[in-house]
Structure 1
Amino acid sequence: MLSDDELLRYSRQILLKQVDIEGQLKLKGSRVLIVGLGGLGSPVALYLAAAGVGELHLADFDSVDLTNLQRQVLHDSTSVGAQKVDSAIARLSALNPLARLVPHRTAMDVDSLDAAVAAVDLVLDCTDNFSVREAVNAACVAAKKPLVSGAAIRLEGQLSVFDSRVETSPCYHCLYGHGSEAELTCSEAGVLGPVVGMLGSLQALEALKLLAGFGEPLIGRLLLVDALSSRFRELRVKRDPGCAVCGNHNG
Protein backbone atom coordinates (compact mmCIF):
# COMPACT_ATOMS: atom_id res chain seq x y z
CA MET A 1 0.00 0.00 0.00
CA LEU A 2 0.95 3.63 -0.47
CA SER A 3 0.69 6.06 2.43
CA ASP A 4 -0.98 9.45 2.12
CA ASP A 5 2.48 11.03 2.07
CA GLU A 6 3.55 8.75 -0.80
CA LEU A 7 0.36 9.40 -2.76
CA LEU A 8 1.02 13.13 -2.50
CA ARG A 9 4.78 12.95 -3.08
CA TYR A 10 4.45 10.85 -6.25
CA SER A 11 1.10 12.24 -7.40
CA ARG A 12 2.35 13.76 -10.66
CA GLN A 13 3.71 10.48 -11.98
CA ILE A 14 0.83 8.44 -10.56
CA LEU A 15 -1.40 10.56 -12.81
CA LEU A 16 0.31 8.94 -15.82
CA LYS A 17 -1.66 5.93 -17.05
CA GLN A 18 1.67 4.19 -17.72
CA VAL A 19 2.52 4.39 -14.01
CA ASP A 20 -0.65 4.68 -11.93
CA ILE A 21 -0.86 3.13 -8.45
CA GLU A 22 0.22 -0.28 -9.71
CA GLY A 23 3.42 1.06 -11.24
CA GLN A 24 4.20 3.14 -8.17
CA LEU A 25 3.86 0.06 -5.97
CA LYS A 26 6.28 -1.78 -8.26
CA LEU A 27 8.79 1.06 -7.87
CA LYS A 28 8.35 1.02 -4.10
CA GLY A 29 9.11 -2.70 -4.02
CA SER A 30 12.14 -2.47 -6.31
CA ARG A 31 15.81 -2.75 -5.40
CA VAL A 32 18.40 -1.14 -7.67
CA LEU A 33 22.21 -1.16 -7.73
CA ILE A 34 23.94 1.98 -9.02
CA VAL A 35 27.60 1.33 -9.81
CA GLY A 36 29.38 4.69 -9.89
CA LEU A 37 28.18 7.93 -8.28
CA GLY A 38 29.83 10.40 -10.63
CA GLY A 39 28.52 12.30 -13.64
CA LEU A 40 26.13 9.57 -14.78
CA GLY A 41 25.32 8.18 -11.35
CA SER A 42 24.35 11.59 -10.00
CA PRO A 43 21.16 12.12 -12.05
CA VAL A 44 20.43 8.38 -11.91
CA ALA A 45 20.46 8.34 -8.10
CA LEU A 46 18.58 11.63 -7.76
CA TYR A 47 15.78 10.72 -10.16
CA LEU A 48 15.32 7.16 -8.92
CA ALA A 49 15.18 8.31 -5.29
CA ALA A 50 12.77 11.09 -6.21
CA ALA A 51 10.58 8.68 -8.19
CA GLY A 52 10.11 6.38 -5.20
CA VAL A 53 12.32 3.40 -5.98
CA GLY A 54 12.23 1.62 -2.64
CA GLU A 55 15.85 0.56 -2.18
CA LEU A 56 18.98 2.01 -3.75
CA HIS A 57 22.30 0.20 -3.41
CA LEU A 58 25.07 2.78 -3.90
CA ALA A 59 28.50 1.57 -5.03
CA ASP A 60 31.58 3.78 -5.31
CA PHE A 61 35.01 3.54 -3.66
CA ASP A 62 36.13 7.07 -4.62
CA SER A 63 36.07 10.39 -2.77
CA VAL A 64 34.67 13.71 -3.95
CA ASP A 65 37.24 15.95 -5.68
CA LEU A 66 36.82 19.62 -6.55
CA THR A 67 37.09 18.75 -10.25
CA ASN A 68 34.00 16.51 -9.91
CA LEU A 69 31.62 19.33 -9.05
CA GLN A 70 31.35 20.66 -12.62
CA ARG A 71 29.21 17.65 -13.55
CA GLN A 72 28.62 15.38 -10.54
CA VAL A 73 25.59 17.24 -9.21
CA LEU A 74 24.87 14.71 -6.47
CA HIS A 75 27.77 16.27 -4.53
CA ASP A 76 28.59 19.85 -3.49
CA SER A 77 31.49 21.91 -2.18
CA THR A 78 30.97 20.74 1.40
CA SER A 79 31.44 17.13 0.20
CA VAL A 80 34.98 17.58 -1.13
CA GLY A 81 37.20 14.95 0.49
CA ALA A 82 34.27 12.82 1.66
CA GLN A 83 33.49 9.42 0.22
CA LYS A 84 31.03 9.68 -2.65
CA VAL A 85 28.77 7.09 -1.07
CA ASP A 86 28.48 9.14 2.12
CA SER A 87 27.90 12.36 0.18
CA ALA A 88 25.23 10.59 -1.88
CA ILE A 89 23.47 9.22 1.19
CA ALA A 90 23.28 12.69 2.74
CA ARG A 91 21.83 14.24 -0.42
CA LEU A 92 19.39 11.43 -1.22
CA SER A 93 18.15 11.19 2.37
CA ALA A 94 17.34 14.90 2.27
CA LEU A 95 15.61 14.50 -1.10
CA ASN A 96 13.49 11.50 -0.13
CA PRO A 97 13.74 10.08 3.41
CA LEU A 98 11.48 7.19 2.34
CA ALA A 99 14.22 5.65 0.20
CA ARG A 100 16.26 2.85 1.78
CA LEU A 101 19.94 3.38 1.01
CA VAL A 102 22.48 0.55 1.08
CA PRO A 103 26.17 1.61 0.87
CA HIS A 104 29.02 -0.18 -0.90
CA ARG A 105 32.07 1.93 -0.05
CA THR A 106 34.90 -0.29 -1.25
CA ALA A 107 35.91 -1.60 -4.67
CA MET A 108 34.06 -4.83 -5.31
CA ASP A 109 35.75 -8.06 -6.33
CA VAL A 110 34.02 -10.79 -8.35
CA ASP A 111 32.39 -12.40 -5.32
CA SER A 112 31.12 -9.18 -3.75
CA LEU A 113 29.89 -7.91 -7.12
CA ASP A 114 28.01 -11.15 -7.74
CA ALA A 115 26.40 -10.86 -4.30
CA ALA A 116 25.50 -7.20 -4.85
CA VAL A 117 23.88 -7.93 -8.22
CA ALA A 118 22.00 -10.95 -6.85
CA ALA A 119 20.49 -8.75 -4.11
CA VAL A 120 18.75 -6.34 -6.51
CA ASP A 121 16.26 -6.33 -9.38
CA LEU A 122 18.16 -4.08 -11.78
CA VAL A 123 21.66 -2.64 -12.21
CA LEU A 124 22.81 0.66 -13.66
CA ASP A 125 26.39 0.91 -14.90
CA CYS A 126 27.47 4.52 -14.39
CA THR A 127 31.22 3.94 -14.42
CA ASP A 128 33.93 5.04 -16.85
CA ASN A 129 36.16 1.98 -16.53
CA PHE A 130 35.99 -0.78 -19.15
CA SER A 131 37.11 -3.62 -16.89
CA VAL A 132 34.47 -2.69 -14.31
CA ARG A 133 31.83 -2.53 -17.04
CA GLU A 134 32.79 -6.03 -18.20
CA ALA A 135 32.64 -7.37 -14.64
CA VAL A 136 29.24 -5.77 -14.01
CA ASN A 137 27.92 -7.17 -17.30
CA ALA A 138 29.15 -10.69 -16.50
CA ALA A 139 27.51 -10.57 -13.07
CA CYS A 140 24.22 -9.37 -14.57
CA VAL A 141 24.24 -12.11 -17.22
CA ALA A 142 24.96 -14.79 -14.62
CA ALA A 143 22.15 -13.55 -12.36
CA LYS A 144 19.80 -12.72 -15.26
CA LYS A 145 19.37 -9.15 -14.06
CA PRO A 146 18.72 -6.28 -16.50
CA LEU A 147 21.58 -3.82 -16.97
CA VAL A 148 21.17 -0.20 -18.04
CA SER A 149 24.51 0.99 -19.40
CA GLY A 150 25.43 4.58 -20.22
CA ALA A 151 28.64 6.32 -21.25
CA ALA A 152 29.60 9.89 -22.04
CA ILE A 153 32.78 11.74 -22.96
CA ARG A 154 33.54 15.10 -24.55
CA LEU A 155 30.22 15.99 -26.26
CA GLU A 156 29.06 12.45 -27.05
CA GLY A 157 27.18 9.69 -25.30
CA GLN A 158 25.82 6.17 -25.68
CA LEU A 159 23.02 4.29 -23.98
CA SER A 160 21.63 0.76 -24.14
CA VAL A 161 19.78 -1.84 -22.09
CA PHE A 162 21.04 -5.41 -21.81
CA ASP A 163 18.52 -7.91 -20.44
CA SER A 164 19.45 -11.59 -20.44
CA ARG A 165 15.88 -12.48 -19.47
CA VAL A 166 15.04 -11.65 -23.09
CA GLU A 167 16.28 -14.38 -25.43
CA THR A 168 17.26 -12.02 -28.23
CA SER A 169 18.97 -9.42 -26.04
CA PRO A 170 22.71 -8.89 -26.53
CA CYS A 171 24.95 -8.24 -23.54
CA TYR A 172 27.59 -5.55 -23.14
CA HIS A 173 30.30 -7.94 -24.32
CA CYS A 174 28.37 -8.74 -27.52
CA LEU A 175 28.55 -5.07 -28.42
CA TYR A 176 31.99 -4.02 -27.25
CA GLY A 177 34.01 -7.23 -27.23
CA HIS A 178 37.24 -6.91 -25.32
CA GLY A 179 37.36 -3.12 -25.72
CA SER A 180 40.55 -1.27 -25.01
CA GLU A 181 42.24 -0.41 -21.76
CA ALA A 182 43.65 2.61 -23.60
CA GLU A 183 40.22 4.25 -23.79
CA LEU A 184 40.19 7.86 -22.67
CA THR A 185 38.44 8.97 -19.51
CA CYS A 186 36.75 12.29 -18.78
CA SER A 187 39.79 13.40 -16.79
CA GLU A 188 41.89 13.01 -19.95
CA ALA A 189 39.51 14.02 -22.74
CA GLY A 190 37.07 16.32 -20.92
CA VAL A 191 33.28 16.31 -20.81
CA LEU A 192 30.51 18.89 -20.62
CA GLY A 193 28.31 18.57 -17.54
CA PRO A 194 24.92 18.56 -19.30
CA VAL A 195 26.06 15.68 -21.52
CA VAL A 196 26.51 13.27 -18.62
CA GLY A 197 23.40 14.80 -17.04
CA MET A 198 21.37 13.97 -20.14
CA LEU A 199 22.72 10.43 -20.46
CA GLY A 200 22.22 9.75 -16.75
CA SER A 201 18.65 11.05 -16.94
CA LEU A 202 17.98 8.71 -19.86
CA GLN A 203 19.44 5.83 -17.85
CA ALA A 204 17.05 6.66 -15.00
CA LEU A 205 14.16 6.74 -17.47
CA GLU A 206 15.05 3.31 -18.86
CA ALA A 207 15.28 1.94 -15.31
CA LEU A 208 11.85 3.29 -14.38
CA LYS A 209 10.35 1.77 -17.54
CA LEU A 210 11.80 -1.64 -16.71
CA LEU A 211 10.85 -1.53 -13.04
CA ALA A 212 7.30 -0.24 -13.49
CA GLY A 213 6.71 -2.22 -16.68
CA PHE A 214 5.81 0.34 -19.31
CA GLY A 215 7.12 1.59 -22.64
CA GLU A 216 9.75 0.05 -24.90
CA PRO A 217 13.17 -0.32 -23.26
CA LEU A 218 16.36 0.09 -25.31
CA ILE A 219 16.93 -3.67 -25.54
CA GLY A 220 18.77 -4.57 -28.74
CA ARG A 221 19.19 -0.88 -29.54
CA LEU A 222 22.12 1.47 -29.02
CA LEU A 223 21.27 5.16 -28.69
CA LEU A 224 24.04 7.49 -29.86
CA VAL A 225 23.94 11.11 -28.69
CA ASP A 226 25.84 13.91 -30.44
CA ALA A 227 25.45 16.91 -28.17
CA LEU A 228 27.45 19.18 -30.45
CA SER A 229 24.78 18.99 -33.16
CA SER A 230 21.90 17.96 -30.86
CA ARG A 231 21.31 14.79 -32.87
CA PHE A 232 20.27 11.31 -31.77
CA ARG A 233 20.90 8.14 -33.77
CA GLU A 234 19.84 4.58 -33.07
CA LEU A 235 21.62 1.39 -34.07
CA ARG A 236 20.17 -2.11 -33.91
CA VAL A 237 22.37 -4.52 -31.96
CA LYS A 238 22.03 -8.30 -32.17
CA ARG A 239 23.08 -10.91 -29.65
CA ASP A 240 26.25 -12.77 -30.58
CA PRO A 241 25.54 -16.53 -30.29
CA GLY A 242 29.26 -17.10 -29.79
CA CYS A 243 29.65 -14.44 -27.09
CA ALA A 244 32.02 -15.60 -24.36
CA VAL A 245 29.77 -14.05 -21.69
CA CYS A 246 26.15 -14.63 -22.69
CA GLY A 247 26.39 -17.19 -25.51
CA ASN A 248 25.86 -20.17 -23.24
CA HIS A 249 23.18 -18.54 -21.11
CA ASN A 250 20.47 -17.91 -23.66
CA GLY A 251 20.64 -21.12 -25.62
Structure 2
Amino acid sequence: MAAMSLMGIRCGAQMVRQLKHWVVYAKTDITAGSKGITAFIIEKGMPGFSTAQKLDKLGMRGSDTCELVFENCFVPQENVLGEEGKGVYVMMSGLDLERLVLAGGPIGLMQACLDVVLPYVRQREQFGRPIGEFQFLQGKMADMYTSLQSSRSFVYSVARDCDNGKVDRKDCAGVILFAAERATQVALEAIQCLGGNGYINEYPTGRLLRDAKLFEIGAGTSEIRRMIIGRELFKED
Protein backbone atom coordinates (compact mmCIF):
# COMPACT_ATOMS: atom_id res chain seq x y z
CA MET A 1 0.00 0.00 0.00
CA ALA A 2 1.04 3.63 -0.44
CA ALA A 3 2.07 5.98 2.34
CA MET A 4 -0.83 7.36 4.36
CA SER A 5 -1.77 10.41 6.40
CA LEU A 6 -3.50 9.79 9.73
CA MET A 7 -6.04 12.07 11.42
CA GLY A 8 -7.73 11.68 14.80
CA ILE A 9 -7.16 11.11 18.51
CA ARG A 10 -6.33 7.82 20.19
CA CYS A 11 -7.35 7.90 23.87
CA GLY A 12 -5.63 6.09 26.68
CA ALA A 13 -2.14 5.16 25.45
CA GLN A 14 0.08 3.91 28.28
CA MET A 15 3.64 4.93 29.25
CA VAL A 16 3.69 7.71 26.63
CA ARG A 17 6.65 9.62 28.07
CA GLN A 18 8.84 6.52 28.17
CA LEU A 19 8.07 5.09 24.72
CA LYS A 20 9.50 5.93 21.31
CA HIS A 21 7.32 3.64 19.18
CA TRP A 22 3.62 2.75 19.18
CA VAL A 23 1.43 0.32 17.27
CA VAL A 24 -1.66 2.23 16.20
CA TYR A 25 -4.75 0.81 14.48
CA ALA A 26 -6.51 3.12 12.05
CA LYS A 27 -9.51 2.89 9.74
CA THR A 28 -8.18 2.88 6.18
CA ASP A 29 -11.41 1.81 4.47
CA ILE A 30 -14.56 3.12 6.13
CA THR A 31 -16.76 0.82 4.04
CA ALA A 32 -15.07 -2.48 4.95
CA GLY A 33 -15.95 -2.81 8.63
CA SER A 34 -13.34 -4.76 10.60
CA LYS A 35 -11.54 -5.57 7.33
CA GLY A 36 -10.82 -1.88 6.81
CA ILE A 37 -8.48 -1.50 9.79
CA THR A 38 -4.71 -1.34 9.29
CA ALA A 39 -1.90 -1.48 11.87
CA PHE A 40 0.86 1.14 11.76
CA ILE A 41 4.15 1.63 13.60
CA ILE A 42 4.25 5.24 14.81
CA GLU A 43 7.57 6.77 15.78
CA LYS A 44 8.16 9.60 18.23
CA GLY A 45 8.88 12.82 16.36
CA MET A 46 6.88 12.00 13.24
CA PRO A 47 5.45 15.23 11.72
CA GLY A 48 1.81 15.61 12.69
CA PHE A 49 2.08 13.27 15.69
CA SER A 50 1.90 14.59 19.26
CA THR A 51 0.71 13.66 22.72
CA ALA A 52 -1.98 15.58 24.58
CA GLN A 53 -2.96 15.86 28.21
CA LYS A 54 -2.12 13.25 30.80
CA LEU A 55 -5.38 11.58 31.81
CA ASP A 56 -6.35 11.72 35.49
CA LYS A 57 -7.00 8.04 36.20
CA LEU A 58 -8.67 6.38 39.16
CA GLY A 59 -5.80 3.92 39.64
CA MET A 60 -2.48 2.82 38.15
CA ARG A 61 -1.40 6.42 38.56
CA GLY A 62 2.28 5.53 38.31
CA SER A 63 1.75 4.74 34.63
CA ASP A 64 1.32 7.82 32.45
CA THR A 65 -1.72 7.59 30.21
CA CYS A 66 -2.15 10.24 27.52
CA GLU A 67 -4.01 10.90 24.32
CA LEU A 68 -2.18 10.40 21.02
CA VAL A 69 -3.04 13.12 18.50
CA PHE A 70 -2.67 12.75 14.73
CA GLU A 71 -2.96 15.85 12.54
CA ASN A 72 -2.09 14.83 8.98
CA CYS A 73 0.60 12.51 10.36
CA PHE A 74 2.51 11.12 7.38
CA VAL A 75 3.19 7.39 7.76
CA PRO A 76 5.50 5.80 5.15
CA GLN A 77 4.68 2.47 3.55
CA GLU A 78 7.46 0.66 5.46
CA ASN A 79 5.71 1.55 8.74
CA VAL A 80 2.65 -0.53 7.88
CA LEU A 81 2.57 -3.55 10.21
CA GLY A 82 1.32 -6.59 8.33
CA GLU A 83 -1.01 -6.05 5.40
CA GLU A 84 -3.48 -3.31 4.62
CA GLY A 85 -6.87 -4.13 6.11
CA LYS A 86 -5.39 -6.84 8.36
CA GLY A 87 -5.01 -4.74 11.49
CA VAL A 88 -7.56 -6.77 13.43
CA TYR A 89 -5.53 -9.92 12.78
CA VAL A 90 -2.38 -8.19 14.05
CA MET A 91 -4.18 -7.11 17.22
CA MET A 92 -5.84 -10.46 17.86
CA SER A 93 -2.64 -12.44 17.21
CA GLY A 94 -1.18 -11.35 20.53
CA LEU A 95 -4.30 -10.80 22.60
CA ASP A 96 -4.46 -14.28 24.15
CA LEU A 97 -0.91 -14.03 25.47
CA GLU A 98 -1.49 -10.42 26.53
CA ARG A 99 -4.35 -11.57 28.75
CA LEU A 100 -2.19 -14.30 30.25
CA VAL A 101 0.68 -11.91 30.98
CA LEU A 102 -1.64 -9.30 32.48
CA ALA A 103 -3.07 -11.93 34.84
CA GLY A 104 0.18 -11.65 36.78
CA GLY A 105 -0.86 -8.15 37.89
CA PRO A 106 -3.83 -9.27 40.01
CA ILE A 107 -1.65 -11.93 41.64
CA GLY A 108 0.82 -9.27 42.73
CA LEU A 109 -1.99 -7.07 44.02
CA MET A 110 -3.51 -9.90 46.07
CA GLN A 111 -0.11 -10.65 47.58
CA ALA A 112 0.30 -6.94 48.37
CA CYS A 113 -3.07 -6.96 50.16
CA LEU A 114 -1.96 -9.86 52.35
CA ASP A 115 1.35 -8.11 52.98
CA VAL A 116 -0.61 -5.19 54.42
CA VAL A 117 -3.28 -7.14 56.30
CA LEU A 118 -1.21 -9.82 58.07
CA PRO A 119 1.16 -7.48 59.97
CA TYR A 120 -1.79 -5.23 60.81
CA VAL A 121 -3.96 -7.95 62.37
CA ARG A 122 -0.98 -9.18 64.39
CA GLN A 123 -0.22 -5.75 65.82
CA ARG A 124 -3.68 -4.22 66.17
CA GLU A 125 -5.35 -5.17 69.47
CA GLN A 126 -8.92 -5.13 70.69
CA PHE A 127 -10.10 -6.39 74.07
CA GLY A 128 -6.50 -7.11 75.02
CA ARG A 129 -5.68 -9.44 72.13
CA PRO A 130 -4.56 -9.17 68.48
CA ILE A 131 -7.53 -8.84 66.17
CA GLY A 132 -6.08 -11.63 64.04
CA GLU A 133 -7.18 -14.05 66.75
CA PHE A 134 -10.85 -13.28 66.09
CA GLN A 135 -12.54 -15.96 64.03
CA PHE A 136 -14.32 -13.68 61.59
CA LEU A 137 -11.04 -12.02 60.62
CA GLN A 138 -9.35 -15.39 60.25
CA GLY A 139 -12.14 -16.30 57.83
CA LYS A 140 -11.43 -13.20 55.76
CA MET A 141 -7.71 -13.96 55.72
CA ALA A 142 -8.44 -17.52 54.63
CA ASP A 143 -10.62 -16.28 51.75
CA MET A 144 -7.91 -13.84 50.66
CA TYR A 145 -5.24 -16.52 50.78
CA THR A 146 -7.24 -19.11 48.84
CA SER A 147 -8.14 -16.51 46.19
CA LEU A 148 -4.45 -15.73 45.77
CA GLN A 149 -3.30 -19.33 45.65
CA SER A 150 -6.02 -20.54 43.30
CA SER A 151 -5.37 -17.63 40.93
CA ARG A 152 -1.63 -18.22 41.04
CA SER A 153 -2.03 -21.93 40.29
CA PHE A 154 -4.44 -21.25 37.42
CA VAL A 155 -2.14 -18.65 35.84
CA TYR A 156 0.99 -20.80 36.20
CA SER A 157 -0.80 -23.81 34.73
CA VAL A 158 -1.95 -21.91 31.64
CA ALA A 159 1.47 -20.26 31.28
CA ARG A 160 3.10 -23.69 31.34
CA ASP A 161 0.78 -24.88 28.57
CA CYS A 162 1.55 -21.79 26.50
CA ASP A 163 5.28 -22.37 26.95
CA ASN A 164 4.68 -25.83 25.51
CA GLY A 165 2.88 -24.40 22.49
CA LYS A 166 -0.65 -25.12 23.72
CA VAL A 167 -2.31 -21.70 23.62
CA ASP A 168 -5.99 -22.02 24.49
CA ARG A 169 -8.10 -18.90 23.98
CA LYS A 170 -10.67 -19.73 26.64
CA ASP A 171 -7.98 -20.47 29.23
CA CYS A 172 -6.16 -17.21 28.51
CA ALA A 173 -9.45 -15.34 28.91
CA GLY A 174 -10.29 -17.43 31.96
CA VAL A 175 -7.14 -16.65 33.93
CA ILE A 176 -7.47 -12.88 33.62
CA LEU A 177 -11.23 -13.07 34.29
CA PHE A 178 -10.76 -15.13 37.45
CA ALA A 179 -7.65 -13.40 38.80
CA ALA A 180 -8.92 -9.86 38.12
CA GLU A 181 -12.26 -10.36 39.86
CA ARG A 182 -10.58 -12.12 42.78
CA ALA A 183 -8.11 -9.24 43.13
CA THR A 184 -10.88 -6.66 43.38
CA GLN A 185 -12.63 -8.74 46.04
CA VAL A 186 -9.40 -9.34 47.97
CA ALA A 187 -8.67 -5.60 47.97
CA LEU A 188 -12.15 -4.91 49.32
CA GLU A 189 -11.58 -7.48 52.06
CA ALA A 190 -8.23 -5.88 52.88
CA ILE A 191 -9.98 -2.56 53.44
CA GLN A 192 -12.54 -4.31 55.62
CA CYS A 193 -9.84 -6.01 57.70
CA LEU A 194 -8.27 -2.64 58.48
CA GLY A 195 -11.62 -1.11 59.39
CA GLY A 196 -11.56 2.69 59.39
CA ASN A 197 -7.84 2.71 58.68
CA GLY A 198 -8.49 0.88 55.43
CA TYR A 199 -10.43 3.93 54.26
CA ILE A 200 -7.55 6.31 54.99
CA ASN A 201 -5.01 7.04 52.29
CA GLU A 202 -2.11 6.66 54.73
CA TYR A 203 -2.65 2.94 54.18
CA PRO A 204 -2.22 1.47 50.67
CA THR A 205 -5.42 -0.56 50.59
CA GLY A 206 -7.43 2.07 48.71
CA ARG A 207 -4.76 2.32 46.04
CA LEU A 208 -4.63 -1.47 45.72
CA LEU A 209 -8.39 -1.54 45.13
CA ARG A 210 -8.22 1.21 42.49
CA ASP A 211 -5.33 -0.56 40.75
CA ALA A 212 -7.11 -3.93 40.83
CA LYS A 213 -10.21 -2.58 39.11
CA LEU A 214 -8.28 -1.82 35.92
CA PHE A 215 -7.67 -5.53 35.34
CA GLU A 216 -11.43 -6.06 34.97
CA ILE A 217 -11.40 -3.55 32.10
CA GLY A 218 -8.10 -3.67 30.19
CA ALA A 219 -7.42 -6.24 27.42
CA GLY A 220 -11.15 -6.86 27.15
CA THR A 221 -13.66 -6.39 29.96
CA SER A 222 -14.90 -9.17 32.22
CA GLU A 223 -18.03 -9.30 30.08
CA ILE A 224 -16.01 -9.82 26.89
CA ARG A 225 -13.92 -12.53 28.57
CA ARG A 226 -17.06 -14.41 29.59
CA MET A 227 -18.36 -14.13 26.05
CA ILE A 228 -15.10 -15.55 24.64
CA ILE A 229 -15.11 -18.48 27.07
CA GLY A 230 -18.76 -19.27 26.38
CA ARG A 231 -18.28 -19.05 22.62
CA GLU A 232 -15.22 -21.32 22.68
CA LEU A 233 -17.01 -23.88 24.86
CA PHE A 234 -20.01 -23.85 22.53
CA LYS A 235 -17.78 -24.58 19.51
CA GLU A 236 -16.16 -27.61 21.14
CA ASP A 237 -17.46 -31.10 20.33
Q: TM class by shorter-chain length?
A: under 0.3
Q: TM-score, normalised by structure 2?
A: 0.24
The structure having more radius of gyration, on CA atoms, is 2
